[in-house]
Amino acid sequence: RLGDTVPAEIVALSGTELFVDIWARYIGSLTQSSAAPTLLHGDAHIGNTYVLPGDDVGFLDWQMLRRGNFSLDLGYFLQGALTIEDRRASERDLIAEYRAALRLPVDEVPTEHDVWLRYRASVAHGLAIWMATLSGGDAWQRADICLAFAQRYATAFVDLDTAEALDTICD
């Protein structure tokens, strides 16, 4: 299904490379961070959101709840919700806005560098989840939705040099 719609290096990944070398390493890093742990939704994609009157937005489907580094939900949501073009154009500004909105003691606010590094590494989660979901055909999500998400995360993986970010935070 992916054909030439994602970078060749993504298509070339074996299951072990994707799920052990990339995804499991990232998931393992979530509790190894020096940043204060936060409550994580764990499946914060656009399909798990709702809007109330007054434009308040919430998340549903909380069975993946866990604690760990902020980057899981931040990256998974932004990289999946935005088109490739919109992500490229606005992700740095959105991440800066996220960091500025944190209500933490000054000495606990992650540095700009750390937020960016963790965001880059977080692509590992979305890529693995949506490649697996895509492989199930229409079992969990419609194929067109799976393909769009897989393309977004695959492109982000290359754009953001996720492999290098993982090497930095995991070694």
- Domain for residue 2, yes or no? no
What CATH number corresponds to the domain at position 111?
3.90.1200.10
pLDDT digits over 128-165, tens only? Answer: 999 998 888 778 888 899 999 999 999 999 999 999 99
Q: Look up the domain containing 101 and give its range.
A: 8-170
Q: What are phi and psi of 80, to 5 degrees?
A: -90, -35
- CB 7 within 8 Å of CB 158: yes
Mean pLDDT of the chain: 92
According to DSSP, residue 39 is labeled: E
- Nearest-angstrom CA–CA distance, 121 and 118: 5
Tokens of 89: 């154009």
- CB 151 within 8 Å of CB 84: yes
Domain count, the chain: 1
- Nearest-angstrom CA–CA distance, 73 and 144: 23
- Domain for residue 75, yes or no? yes
